[in-house]
Chains A and B, each alone.
Chain A
């Protein structure tokens, strides 16, 4: 079945450092890929998404490229801020088939000033 694997956290960085959170997936079809962010005590917010191979999703300085050859969707940001501290979830779905999102375990990011 479909699954998502993302790097274990927590990730601790200083402000303005470069961020990478790795995410790889297993899917039988052609999934859409997503990154969601959850701030403390809040619900989920869509950060970015990509619906087909080689698409790049971007938002708020974050980027991720859908790599079919490596089945990856790594999240990157060139310069993190304290306000980026949150839990980040990689997820996939075969939305055209009406299926639910499948989430990775989440990676906690902590940015200090």
Chain B
């Protein structure tokens, strides 16, 4: 079935630095990738939708200059958290339609900013 590989699974970075999270579709072409954020013991909040070859669409309240999304190919979408601060610490998950009637998810990235 459709598999999305997400890396890294965990990252710790210093405040002010940038972190890149990658999601690769391994056996299918992901024209669309959804990026979610999950705070501890809370639900998944949609941050943005990326489409291959075009600009991402951000949800209300999400800073597009802080969370840079690139979807330059049909198999790779990236989320870069720029100038990270402790409040950006969270669990980030990508997801793509699986070509059927469902979605496939990456395994998530736990970001800790110190």
Interface on A for B, CB 8 Å cutoff?
32, 34, 42-44, 46, 49, 51, 89, 93, 95, 98, 100-106, 108
> Which residues of the other chain, B, contact A93 by a CB distance below 8 angstroms?
103
Return B7 CB to nearest CB of chain A, in Å. Answer: 13
* In the complex with contacts A98-B97, A101-B34, A101-B95, A43-B43 CB distance below 8 A: no
CB-CB under 8 A for A106 and B43, given A95-B101, A100-B49: yes
Which of B46, B101, B106, B107 interacts with A100 by CB under 8 Å? B46
In the complex, whether B105 has a CB less than 8 A from a CB of chain A is yes
Q: Which A residues are CB-close (under 8 A) to B106?
A: 43
Query: Is A100 a contact of B34 with CB atoms below 8 Å?
Result: yes
Residues of A within 8 A of B90 (CB): none
* B44, B93, B101, most chain A CB atoms within 10 A: B44
Interface size class of B (residues with CB under 8 A): 10 to 19
Q: Which residue of B lies closest to A90 (CB)?
A: B43
The 3 tightest CB contacts between A and B, nearest first, are A100-B34, A43-B108, A43-B107
Report the separation of the CA atoms of residues A17 and B46 in the bound assembly, to the nearest whole angstrom.
34
Once bound together, how far apart are the Cα atoms of A102 and B44, in whole Å?
8
Q: Min CB distance, A57 to chain B, in Å?
A: 11
A95, B42: Cβ atoms under 8 Å? no
Check if A46 sits within 8 Å of B42, measured CB to CB.
no
- A100-B34, A103-B43, A105-B43 known; A43+B105 contact, CB < 8 A: yes
Cβ-defined contact, A32 with B97, below 8 A? no
Q: Could you tell me if A102 and B46 are in contact, using CB atoms closer than 8 angstroms?
A: yes
Contact with A along B34-45 (1 / 0, CB 8 A): 100000011110
Known: A42-B107, A42-B108, A100-B49. 15 other contacts (CB 8 A): A43-B93, A43-B105, A43-B108, A44-B93, A44-B108, A46-B102, A95-B103, A100-B34, A100-B95, A101-B44, A101-B46, A101-B103, A102-B46, A104-B43, A106-B41
Indicate whether B18 reaches chain A with its CB closer than 8 angstroms.
no
Closest to A51 in B: B101
Contacts A43-B93, A43-B106, A93-B103 known; A98 to B32 CB distance under 8 Å? yes
